[in-house]
Amino acid sequence: MLKIDSHTHILPKKMPNWSEKFGYGDFIYLQHHKRGFAKMMRGNQFFREIEENCWNADLRIDEYETHHTKVQVVCTIPVMFSYWAKPMDTLSLSKYLNDHLARLVEKYPKNYVGLGTLPMQDTELAIQELTRCKKIGLHGIQIGSNINDENLNEERFFPIFEACEKLSMAVMVHPWNMMGEKNMTRYWLPWLVGMPAETARAVCSMIFGGVFERLPKLRVMFAHAGGSFLFTLGRIRHGFECRPDLVAIDNPVDPEKYLGQFWVDSITHDLPMLEYVISKVGSKRVTLGSDYPFPLGDLQIGKFIEESGLPKKTKEDIFVNATLEWLQLPKKRFQ
Ligand SMILES: [Zn+2]
């Protein structure tokens, strides 16, 4: 069975030192300090060490083969978004990353699909780069769960979503810039608690802000099975019903209606949780995801799904069909 991993991250091996180039800010750059490894530096601060499978396309294809997975949907690492920088500088950086993805996809069309990054802090520049992403052969974009602490329902983001719908570009929403991060640095809590909450924040903002209501053809996938959204849906709906004066102020439609309109990936690390997710959004809306090559991801690329007793049709939806539909790609491209 063809397997497509809808959620993986990649970087170019070499990047300019953006802080030096632009003369300010703690942009990320890579220090290749020893063979097969690099340090991601944020300004002069060490951020994390990454391995060669973060940038080496051939090595990645080999590693994926051991997990019977042919196709990787690749996007940058959220820390690269740089929405905080001057818009023109984020545009330059985005172009650099997007061009790298375009070259990768051109070289390995059967193994890679690219999702670009945009200067979301500037609506006009974001749409300009989105349009260019489409032209250079990318099939969608990845954006953050918030943009400099602003939620995705803000009107200034709406024209970008509208352009995505019009250009038929898929959107992946990835948690980053986690709420409360500074107050919970211990125990990896920004990743374990903040990230799922961030994604729920993004789903709720888009539902209650009426984005899905106004753009029924917009195709959005939320990372990590939608974060805590589906697992707190009962509470969210109850809140919508008991305090419409607080919740239903921009969109009077029950949030339940949008289940099945957007996609979520399969990264739950837990079969009963995944079964619950499928019961809520349907198997056609659950894409195989891994978060490769990072340790918090499902680095066996859906082995727990393969080994589960889920019906073959459900597995096929998760491994192939859901992602093909989200990205509007024909299966034959990968055969
Ligand atoms: Zn990720």
Residues with CB under 5 A from ligand 1 (ion): 291
pLDDT at res. 43: 84
CA distances (Å), origin 128, targets 56, 181, 218, 250, 283? 29, 32, 18, 28, 34
Q: 61: which residues sit within 8 A by CB, 6+ positions away?
A: 108, 111
Interval between CA 250 and ligand 1 midpoint (Å): 30
Ligand 1 mean position to 236 CA, how many Å?
25
* pLDDT tens per residue across span 35-93: 999 999 998 889 999 999 999 999 999 999 999 999 999 999 999 999 999 999 999 99
195 and 224 Cβ atoms separated by less than 8 Å: yes
Please give the full DSSP string across 58-122, using - where no structure is assigned: HHHHHHHHTTT--EEEEE--GGG--TTS-HHHHHHHHHHHHHHHHHHHHH-TTTEEEEE---TTS
pLDDT value of position 2: 95
Sorted by where each begins, the domain ranges of the chain are 4-9+57-334
Q: Which residue in 335, 332, 324 sits closest to 139, CA to CA? A: 324
φ, ψ at 42 (rounded to 5°): -105, 100
Judge whether residue 185 has pLDDT over 90. Answer: yes
What is the pLDDT, as a whole number, of residue 179? Answer: 96
Over the stretch 107-158, which tens digit does the pLDDT of each residue have? 999 999 999 999 999 999 999 999 999 999 999 999 999 999 999 999 999 9
**Cα 223 to averaged position of ligand 1 atoms, centre (Å):** 7
Gap from CA of 164 to ligand 1 centroid (Å)? 21
Residue 174 C-alpha to ligand 1 middle, in angstroms? 6
Report the chain's mean pLDDT, rounded to a whole number.
97
Let me know if domain 4-9+57-334 sits in CATH 3.20.20.140: yes
CA of 3 to the centre of ligand 1 (A): 18
Does position 194 have pLDDT exceeding 90, yes or no?
yes
C-alpha of residue 226 to centroid of ligand 1, in Å: 12
Instruction: Give tens-digit pLDDT for 254-275.
Output: 999 999 999 999 999 999 999 9
